[in-house]
Amino acid sequence: MSRLFVGLFFATLLVQASSLSTPTQAVRSYYEAMNNADIERLNQVMMKSSFDLTIEVWALSKALKDKNFAKKLKAYGQDTTIDEEVRQAVHLKLLRSRKKMITELKETFLGKSRCMVRYKEDGKDKQLYTSLHDKQWKIDYKAGRKVD
């Protein structure tokens, strides 16, 4: 029984790691996590600064309606209890959100470790930047900045 569990555990890790082996797969993983309201998976497929910015932006709509939550959102990143509460609010928002479909993904490399992925989200043109970290591509908003 324990061998089966260990095997399944490593198989799950392998699937998660391989799903970030290309910039396109990172974008697909991002949308899959978003559509499934999987905050932990979003955290895995994004650079920390990009993840935190995304969480704060998605939580802003609740903060505008709830002054107590707005105070908590200002303290995001400073207290793990508050971080968890904000992430839970985003999780609930994503659960209620309409699922998004992406098509026509095209990679444009910006060097060896940065890539822009252009695609259509529900028919509208979009793009995300990714960067390579420890052999995994992750969503990285800063990867689109000009490098000297």
The predicted-structure confidence for 31-88, as pLDDT tens digits, reads as follows 999 999 999 999 999 999 999 999 999 999 999 999 999 999 999 999 999 999 999 9
Q: What is the pLDDT of residues 88-132, one digit of tens each?
A: 999 999 999 999 999 999 999 999 999 999 999 999 999 999 999
Judge whether 2 lies within some domain: no
**Alpha-helix residue ranges (DSSP H) falling in the chain:** 2-18, 23-35, 39-45, 48-65, 67-74, 80-96
Judge whether 10 lies within some domain: no
Judge whether 8 lies within some domain: no
Provide the domain count of the chain. 1
Judge whether 5 lies within some domain: no
Judge whether 50 lies within some domain: yes
In CATH, what number is assigned to the domain containing residue 129? 3.10.450
What is the value of pTM for the model shown? Answer: 0.83
Question: Going by C-beta distance under 8 Å and a sequence separation of 6 or more, which residues neighbour residue 116?
Answer: 107, 108, 110, 127, 128, 129, 130, 143, 144
